[in-house]
Amino acid sequence: MKHMATGLLALALAGCGQSGVPETTARAGQAKPDDAFPVANATVTGPVTGGLRGHALWDSWFELEPLGYLDEEYFVSGRARVQPDGEEADYTTRIIVTRPGSDADFNGTVVLDWVNVTAQFENAVDSLESHAYLMRHGYAFVHVSAQERGVCCTPLTPQVWDPVRYAALDHPGDDWAHDMFAQIALALRAPAGVDPMGGLRVKRVLAMGQSQSAQKLHDYVNLGYARSRVIDGILIHGDVGSGKAFTELPVPVLQLLSDYEADAEEPAPADPDNYRLWEIAGTAHTDQYVGLHQIEGQGPRTLANAPRQLAAADADLHRSVGNYGEQVTPFDGVCVAAGASFPMRYAVDAALDYLNRWTGKGHAPPAGPRFAFDEAGALARDDDYNALGGIRYPPIEVPVASYASDVCQLGGFTVPFTELQLAMRYPTHADYFCRMQAATRQSVMAGFLLPEDAGDLMERVESAANRWLDAGVRDCP
């Protein structure tokens, strides 16, 4: 799981810590909960076993024990309430808890993933993007079946996929999903019966969600549910068409947007101290890393009931599908199943890292620069069709591809430069390597790239030497 920096980059980044910029201090959303938004105790049962398949839908496709982790499925039942009208309904849904096996390996933070159901089945996008980071740093993360479409009724939903195991599930509808989500958060941080954390001491609960799930979390904040403060901070990733305005911000919110969601009329937040906006140039709404992990990793276990693979298989898959356009692959133009290859996962990792520290010690993340827009209000692009402005990770500062990130439905596609185009811009691979090393160091110092992800990126830069006839002499300043 660990992706180490090359020796040269490790020396260059030594002493930077998590980021090279001073952290600012902001209010961390730790005020008293609002009594008008109480959260009821839910009933947790499990771990769930048995059924026709013998394992949970969307559990880990690779072995967790060698990594010091385990995953267990639980059912959560209760009576949820819609705010503000107070209408109540009974529910039973499910969660999959992936956690360290001991307190010694647990950092105290649980991350709830409001999993996406746009495809009419569940897709834990941000857990997938960030799972290597989360496991390196001792987080627990939880797959939450928050929405009705995640429970039933297509072939890849629990009640159809395994009707025996999931016969007890009963979702009343998405109007109740927000309170259900809050009750699940409370059950993890202060269990009233069965403890799905296995006795681990929980210090913080964060939430994250992408696309439709981000819209639901946006509503969770604006409808007042966040006032309960059972969730300490929220990552809202790619919320399309939700208006993006926050009418209140009782807890820290980091909003992460791709090129696809670019909006020239970004409204001011209700509370700037509890809000940060990161717009990531070059990124698509969904990407190749997510798509290929689903197809090549989760696919065989879900569709063919394959046994778990060795833990090393996940690291191998990470290496093979983490391409950022430096290599030509058959998936570059496959926008739906795969998508553009620009690495949004680096931004998700950094965002979660900051959100954890922001809610823990009040260390707020840096504010990101805004996208650039043309006179018509559209996202401005350069001659390579790459976005201008925003947070600029090294692959767009020192490009080797065009990232058509806002076309081809939600996935976009990647057009790698030809060898001739590469040679015209960077005469040797050494020239390219040194430019990328400098850009990578700057991203770390600016606070938007974790050193461990900088190492992963520079390993890929090193391996891109096959795209140049002339390796050159590496003598980076």
Q: Which residue has the higher pLDDT, 471 or 332?
A: 471
- The average pLDDT across 226-239 equals 95
Taking the C-alpha atoms of residue 108 and residue 12, their distance in angstroms, rounded to an integer, is 31
Checking if the pLDDT of 18 tops 70, the result is no
Query: CB 66: neighbour CB atoms within 10 A?
Result: 11
Average pLDDT over residues 154-158: 96
pTM: 0.93
Residue 47 or 3, more confident? 47
Q: Give Cα separations from 204 to 241, 359, 360, 390 (angstroms).
A: 30, 8, 7, 30
Domain spans, the chain: 7-25+286-467, 43-251
Residue identified by tokens 């068409």 is 241
Sign of CA dihedral 47, 53, 58, 59: positive
CA distance 403 to 247: 34
- Between CA 397 and CA 147 the distance in angstroms is 39
Average pLDDT over residues 28-56: 83
Residue-wise pLDDT tens digits, 178-190:
999 999 999 999 9
- Find out whether 353 and 18 touch, Cβ atoms under 8 Å: yes
- Distance CA(169)–CA(17), nearest Å, equals 45
Q: Is the pLDDT of residue 12 over 70?
A: no
Task: Give, as one character, the DSSP assignment of residue 407.
Answer: S
Reported as a pLDDT band with limits 50, 70 and 90, residue 56 is: very high
pLDDT tens digit sequence for 314-326? 999 999 999 999 9
Mean per-residue pLDDT for 109-116?
A: 97
Cβ-Cβ contacts under 8 Å for 118 (sequence gap 6 or more) = 211, 212
Which candidate, 40, 38, 30, 64, places its Cα nearest to that of 205? 30
Question: How far, rounded to the nearest angstrom, does the alpha carbon of residue 87 sit from its chain's CA centroid?
Answer: 32
Instruction: Determine the pLDDT at residue 15.
Output: 35
Alpha-carbon gap, residue 10 to 32, rounded angstroms: 43
Mean pLDDT of the region 202-224: 95
Instruction: Please state the rounded mean pLDDT for residues 262-273.
Output: 82
- How does residue 10 score in pLDDT terms, banded at 50, 70 and 90? very low
pLDDT tier at 36 (50, 70, 90 boundaries)? Answer: low
pLDDT at 368 over 60: yes
